[in-house]
Amino acid sequence: MELKVAAKHVHVVDDNAGFCKAIEALLNQFGYQVSTYPTAQHLLDRLPNDDVTSCILLDVRLPGMSGPELQQRLLELGSTIPIIFLTGSADIATTVKTIKAGGEDFLIKPVSSDQLLPVVERAMLHHHAMLIQKHAREAVLSRIATLTPRERQVFELVIRGGTNKHLARALGCTERTIKAHRHSVMEKLQVRSLAELVSVAERMGVLTSATASPEKR
């Protein structure tokens, strides 16, 4: 799936209708798509698509579920959309708590365009990078899924540092057969060297799961 930075969506959660209207008008001028929500529950009822480059502008104090509570709920739902908190007064304790929980930034109202726009764009770039990594990992996992059971065993042993001789002894076959399986694994995973094979597995976070011993699967 090709990701496009141009498709950028800002979700504004704030119970101040005037503020939402002003922010929407500002962001529209700079090419952002904007959706507004008067409460946290309204956003949860229309949960944003995590695969669209986005960010959330979230007021700390909301009727019903608070901003930090919504942040926690979104984390539980697996959302990766960056959250920029907005508040009418500085609260160091809340700021620290939300940033530690993964908040992108914390802005004090009233917010000028010079303050808001760079933070929004940074959040967009952050989310876009996360989506690229996510889809790259999914592509690697998809290619790993095409391996035959024996190729999967060879893959697991190779990325743990096993030699052809060791693999042949462990799997009860000839080194020539192991070489053929290794070649097939490299082709299916679209890598050209052992170092690249290990690097891809490690970088995409599949090294640990892929190296579980065959007996335990």
| CATH, range 9-139 | 3.40.50.2300
| Mean model confidence pLDDT for the chain | 86
**156-170 pLDDT, tens digit each:** 888 888 889 999 999
pTM: 0.73
Q: Does position 211 have pLDDT exceeding 60, yes or no?
A: no
Burial string for 33-60 (b: 16+ CB within 10 Å, else e) reads ebbbbbbbbebbeeebebebbbbbbbbb
The predicted structure's pLDDT at residue 88 = 78
**96-139 pLDDT, tens digit each:** 667 776 677 888 888 899 999 999 999 999 999 999 988 888 88
Q: How confident is the model at residue 49 (pLDDT cuts 50, 70, 90)?
A: very high
The predicted structure's pLDDT at residue 201 = 74
Element holding 75 (H helix, E strand): helix 67-76
Q: Give the domain ranges of the chain.
A: 9-139, 146-216
Say which CATH topology domain 146-216 has. Arc Repressor Mutant, subunit A (1.10.10)
- Give the residue with greater pLDDT, 204 vs 36: 36
- Give the residue with greater pLDDT, 39 vs 202: 39
